[in-house]
A and B are shown apart, each in its own frame.
Chain A
C-alpha cells in the first residue's frame, strides 16, 4: 500500500493510458461500423447487417479476420523500415489522443491521493496544441516510409504523393490555428476552451470570430488525415491501395487504426479550438439544458428496446432490449443523482461535438468525389495557404485595433 501511494501519480497515469487505449481502440472499431452504415444509407444500401443485430458484431469479426490472415512479406522489401512504418503510424496517432483533455473537473474523489482529470496530461501543460502539431508533423513518416520500403511502384507513388500532400497542407493547418491562439493567448487546450465561455453560451465560441480559420483548418485537417476527398495516397483506381498495397493482416490493420484515430483527434481539435470544447451551447442560466443528456438518452433507449422486440433474429431479440435497458437505466440514474449529472455535462457536450464532426467526415466520404492531384496541390498552395495567412494578418490587426475580441 505504501508503494501504491508513493507512486500514485505514475500508477494513475498508467491506468489512465491503458483505459484510454482500450476506449480509443473500441471506438475505432465501431467507427468503421458507423462509417459503413452511414455510407451505405447515403447510397441506399443496408450496410453490414448479418453479423449480430444491425451488424453490431461486424467490427469484432473484422478484427478476428485481420488477426488470422496470412501475413506475407514481399521479396525485396527493406525489412527494418517495412516493419517500423506501421508501428510508427499507429504509435504517433495514438500519442496525439493523449494530449486531448476530455473534461474540466477532476473526478469527485481522489484515487491514491491524486486528483484524476479526464485526459492523460494534467491541465496545466502549456504546449498542448504545439505538441499535437509536433506529433502530426512526424505522422508523415509512417505513410512515406511504408510507401518507400515496400519496393513496389504503386506504394512508392502513394508514399511520394502523401509526403508532398502532407507537407503542403501542414502549413495551412498550423497557420489556420494561429488566429485562435492570438485570441486566447495560450497554447494550453484547457485554457483555450475556458476562454470561449461567455454568458450567452454559443456566442462565445471561436467559430464566430474565426470562421475563416475553421474552414481552412477543417479542409487542411482532412487532407492531413488522408481522407476523401483528399485520399490520393491510396486512390484505388490509380494506385491499387497506395502506400499500404504491400501490407496485409495486422500490419494493414495498424494503418487502418492509425487513420481512424487521427480522424478522432481532428474531430476533438475542431470542437476544442473552434466549438467551445466541453462548453454547453446554451446560456448558463437555462438550467433545464442540464437534463439534455437524459432527455436524449431515454428515448434512444426506449427506441432500441422497441426495435429489439421486433428484430428478426433471436440473438437480436435478446441483445438489443438489453442495450436499450442499460441506456434507460443510465438516463434515469442521471436524473436521480444530480452530482453525476453535473459531472457528465462537460464530457457529454465534448463527445456530442466529436460525434458530429465524425459524422461530417463520413458524410463527405459519401458525397464528394476525389480531387485530381494537380487540383489538390493548386488548392493547397494557391487558395488555402493565402487565405489562412490573410486570416492571421486580419486577426492580428483586429486585436490591435479593438483589443482582445472578448
Chain B
C-alpha cells in the first residue's frame, strides 16, 4: 500500500462520513459543518491528483465563501432543530433507494472499465493553473461567458428582490 493510497482512503472515508453525517445531523449548523468536511476532503483528493489550483480554489470558494454564507444565514436566522413532517420522513425511502441505485451504477461502471485507475498523477502536470486558464479562456470561452452572464442576472435578481422588500416597508 503506497502512502498515496492510504491518504486517498483516509480522505475518501472522511468525505463519505461527512456526507452521511450531513444527512443524519439534527441541527442545521452541524449539517453545514459536515458539508465543510466533505468539501475540504474533496480538496485533499484533488491535491492528491496533482491539481493544486483546483484544490485551493475548492477550499477558497466552497469551503470558504459559500459555506461561510450558509453558516452565516443559519446563525442569522437562528434556525433551531429541524422539524420532520410525515412527508419528509416518507421521502427518505425513495431517497435511500435512489442512492443505492446510484452507488450500484457507479460501482458497476468502475468494475467494468478496463483502464487502470491512476492513484496519483504527477504533481503540477494535471490541470496546472496555466492549462486551466487556457482551457477556460480559449477553448470554452463562450460557455464561460454565458455562465458569468447567468450569475450576473442572478445577482441583479437578488438586488431587485431586496429593493422590493424595502419599498414595501
Contact = CB atoms under 8 A, between A and B. Distances in A.
Interface stretch (B8-16, B69-77, B100-108, B141-149): B69-77
B56 A167 contact: no
Contact of B59 (A137, A159, A187): A137
Given A126-B52, A126-B124, A167-B65, A141 B36 contact: yes
Name the residue in B64, B68, B72 with the highest tally of chain A Cβ atoms < 10 Å from its Cβ: B64
Contacts of B30: 80-81
B29 A81 contact: yes
A17 B136 CA distance: 38
Interface of A is mostly: helix
Contact of A131 (B56, B71, B72, B129): B56
A362 interface: no
A148 B59 contact: no
Contacts of B71: 141, 144-145, 148, 163
Nearest to B130: A185
Interface residues of A, number: 28
B53 A127 contact: yes
Contacts of A107: none
Name the residue in A130, A170, A187 with the highest tally of chain B Cβ atoms < 10 Å from its Cβ: A130
Given A163-B75, A187-B129, A144 B68 contact: yes
B33 interface: yes
A221 to B, nearest CB: 16
A160 B75 contact: yes
A164 B65 CA distance: 11
Contacts of B52: 126-127, 130
Contacts of A167: 65, 68-69, 72
Given A148-B75, A160-B76, A130 B53 contact: yes
Interface residues of B, number: 27
B120 interface: no
B60 interface: yes
Contacts, number: 76
B63 interface: yes
Contacts of B72: 144, 160, 163-164, 167
Contact of B68 (A78, A80, A133, A140): A140
A32 B12 CA distance: 41
A166 interface: yes
Contacts of B76: 160
A160 B72 CA distance: 7
Given A127-B53, A141-B36, A159 B75 contact: yes
A138 B64 contact: yes
A136 B53 CA distance: 16
15 contacts: A78-B27, A78-B29, A126-B52, A127-B55, A127-B56, A130-B57, A134-B56, A134-B59, A141-B36, A141-B71, A144-B68, A145-B33, A147-B75, A156-B75, A187-B129
Interface of A: 78, 80-81, 126-127, 130-131, 133-134, 136-138, 140-141, 144-145, 147-148, 156, 159-160, 163-164, 166-167, 170, 174, 187
Report the 6 A-B pairs with minimum CB-CB distance, sorted nearest first: A137-B64, A130-B56, A134-B59, A127-B52, A163-B72, A137-B60
